[in-house]
Amino acid sequence: MGIAREDNGGFSLLTRMCSGHVDGFTVYHSDGPDGDGTDHTEDFDVPVTSEARYDVTSLVRKLNPEIEEYSVYAWSTDNSSSARGPNFSTAQLSALSPGQILATNYADDSFGISALDTQGFEASVASYCDD
């Protein structure tokens, strides 16, 4: 999974599944007094079995910049599969240029969070799915 900056300045959640499916996603953080704080949970319009681009612009604009780190996680209602997106801050999202995707980079074995172009994102997904 990755978070893309669109040409119009908006944001999309990119989901690529190697196998299985996901039905929705949750954005959460761990800066709350009770540990995990759920900021947003949403069902996808249809289950994602291979790839999807989902507009999250309004969600991103509601995130609190004082929270150090958010996480995104996609889940299936039958608990058969899931996908984990990058940990991110609002500053990292704001720094993305149109066309860039914030994602974990599996292609270079660093497994670090990187701002990737589309080709880099697809290479990262391919590397992860091939393992």
Q: For residue range 50-62, list pLDDT tens digits in order.
A: 788 889 998 899 8
pLDDT for position 52: 86
- Give me the number of domains the chain comprises: 1
Pairwise CA distance, residues 44 & 72, whole Å: 14
Q: Is residue 129 part of a domain?
A: no
What tens digit of pLDDT does each residue of 63-120 get? 888 888 888 888 888 999 998 888 899 999 999 999 999 998 888 766 778 899 999 8
- Residue 46: what residue type? V
Look up the pTM and report it.
0.85
- The residue with greater pLDDT, 25 or 91, is 91
- Residue 50: what residue type? S
Q: Is residue 39 part of a domain?
A: yes
Contacts of 55 (CB under 8 A, 6+ apart): 10, 11, 12
Q: Is residue 38 part of a domain?
A: yes
Q: Is residue 105 part of a domain?
A: no
Residues 32-59, mean pLDDT to the nearest whole number: 73
Pairwise CA distance, residues 61 & 46, whole Å: 24
- The residue with greater pLDDT, 107 or 44, is 107
Question: Where residue 64 sits, what CATH number does that domain have?
Answer: 2.60.40
pLDDT band at 49 (very low <50, low <70, confident <90, very high): confident
- pLDDT exceeds cutoff 60 at 15: yes
pLDDT for position 38: 62
Q: Is residue 77 part of a domain?
A: yes
Q: Which of 82, 120, 80 is nearest to 102 (CA)?
A: 120
Q: Is residue 128 part of a domain?
A: no
Q: Is residue 72 part of a domain?
A: yes
Q: Is residue 121 part of a domain?
A: no
Pairwise CA distance, residues 92 & 76, whole Å: 27
Range of the domain at 46: 2-98
Task: With H, G, I as helix, E, B as strand and everything else as coil, classify residue 127.
Answer: helix
